[in-house]
């Protein structure tokens, strides 16, 4: 999550170079989503809001769609919705995408989706209590929520750009895991798992990680346009079959670091819920 994405999201549709950081993020997220979908036999999924972090918007669930899972999305920006829809069509995949101004209501029948998903986007909802109540109503098997790691040094650096006056529509207080767990419990959904995720060997900083490593190792300024473009879209377009493997080469910290280290280094934290009456 980076506050600047609110202002520069459109550039990624013209040039989908997401850099190493966001690319790694997407691959480890795919792994978690695959696990959840296999565990709970997911056939349909809703991501709302679908806009939340640096990179090409609206593609977090592309990998699920490729596996035949029916994907629905919601966003609060009409221009972005059109760009997301066009991108999915270019990839020959289908998603139902709706406009939702404030996410207070979700216009779907009860238990319409197997899975509800939110990645780093709760702060765009305008009433967290109403949103989670609706989220629980329209989902029936599992809800996976990921939030920025608010203990992380990267988050603490990036949130300095936030102020209520500058971003009156944002609610960082909604990113609190304790609040989420309390409200989900009120809606009779139980916590099944929680942990840190997205813990690569670089800090969660608002710059391309290629630049970070070059400056760290070479101790010289490198122009951004001289770095090699990196985007998961080449993987989805079947142009780079080794993309995931290349990203997993950076997962040694994710796999081996103790939780007390991840508390301050990991970029995100996930919470997985199921209905209390589920078997």
Query: How far is residue 89's CA from residue 84's CA, in Å, rounded to a whole number?
Result: 9
Per-residue confidence (pLDDT) for residue 53, from 0 to 100? 75
- How does pLDDT run along the chain (279 residues), one tens digit per residue? 456 578 889 999 999 999 898 999 999 999 999 999 999 999 999 999 999 778 899 999 999 999 999 999 999 999 999 999 999 999 999 999 999 999 999 999 999 999 999 999 999 999 999 999 999 999 999 999 999 999 998 888 888 888 899 899 999 999 999 999 999 999 999 999 999 999 999 987 654 555 544 544 554 554 545 567 899 999 999 999 999 999 999 999 999 999 999 999 999 999 999 999 865
CA end-to-end span of the chain: 34
Alpha carbon of residue 29 to chain centroid: 8
Number of domains in the chain: 1
Query: How far is residue 153's CA from residue 149's CA, in Å, rounded to a whole number?
Result: 9
Per-residue confidence (pLDDT) for residue 162, from 0 to 100? 86
> Residue 13 corresponds to which tokens in the numbers above?
């549709």
Q: What is the CATH number for 246? A: 3.40.50.150
- The answer to whether 147 and 236 are in contact (CB under 8 A) is no
- Look up tokens 């079947």; give the residue: 238
Per-residue confidence (pLDDT) for residue 156, from 0 to 100? 87
Peptide bond into 49 cis (omega under 30): yes
Per-residue confidence (pLDDT) for residue 113, from 0 to 100? 98
State the residue range of the domain holding 232: 5-275
* pTM score: 0.92
Per-residue confidence (pLDDT) for residue 207, from 0 to 100? 47
Per-residue confidence (pLDDT) for residue 217, from 0 to 100? 53
């Amino acid at each position: 999550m980076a506050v600047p994405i609110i202002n520069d999201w459109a550039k990624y549709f013209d040039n989908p170079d997401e850099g190493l950081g966001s690319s790694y993020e997407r691959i480890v997220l795919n792994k978690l989503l695959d696990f959840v979908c296999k565990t709970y036999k997911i056939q349909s999924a809703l991501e709302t809001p679908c806009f939340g972090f640096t990179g090409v918007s609206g593609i977090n669930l592309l990998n699920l769609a490729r596996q035949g899972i029916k994907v629905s999305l919601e966003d609060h920006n009409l221009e972005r919705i059109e760009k997301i829809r066009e991108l999915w069509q270019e990839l020959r995949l289908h998603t139902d995408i709706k406009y939702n101004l404030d996410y207070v209501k979700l216009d779907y029948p009860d238990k319409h989706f197997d899975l509800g998903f939110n990645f780093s986007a709760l702060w765009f909802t305008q009433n967290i209590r109403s949103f989670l109540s609706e989220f629980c109503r329209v989902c029936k098997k599992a809800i996976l929520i990921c939030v920025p790691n608010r203990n992380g040094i990267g988050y603490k650096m990036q949130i300095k750009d936030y102020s209520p006056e500058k971003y009156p529509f944002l609610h960082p207080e909604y990113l609190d895991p304790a609040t989420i767990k309390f409200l989900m419990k009120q809606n009779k959904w139980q916590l099944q798992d929680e942990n840190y995720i997205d813990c690569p060997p670089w800090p969660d900083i608002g710059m391309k990680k290629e630049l970070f490593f070059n400056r760290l190792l070479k101790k010289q300024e490198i122009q951004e346009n001289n770095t090699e473009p990196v985007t998961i879209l080449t993987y989805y377009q079947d142009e780079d079959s080794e993309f995931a493997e290349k990203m997993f080469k950076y997962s040694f910290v994710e796999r081996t670091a103790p939780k007390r280290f991840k508390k301050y280094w990991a970029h995100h934290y996930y919470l997985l819920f199921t209905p209390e009456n589920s078997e």
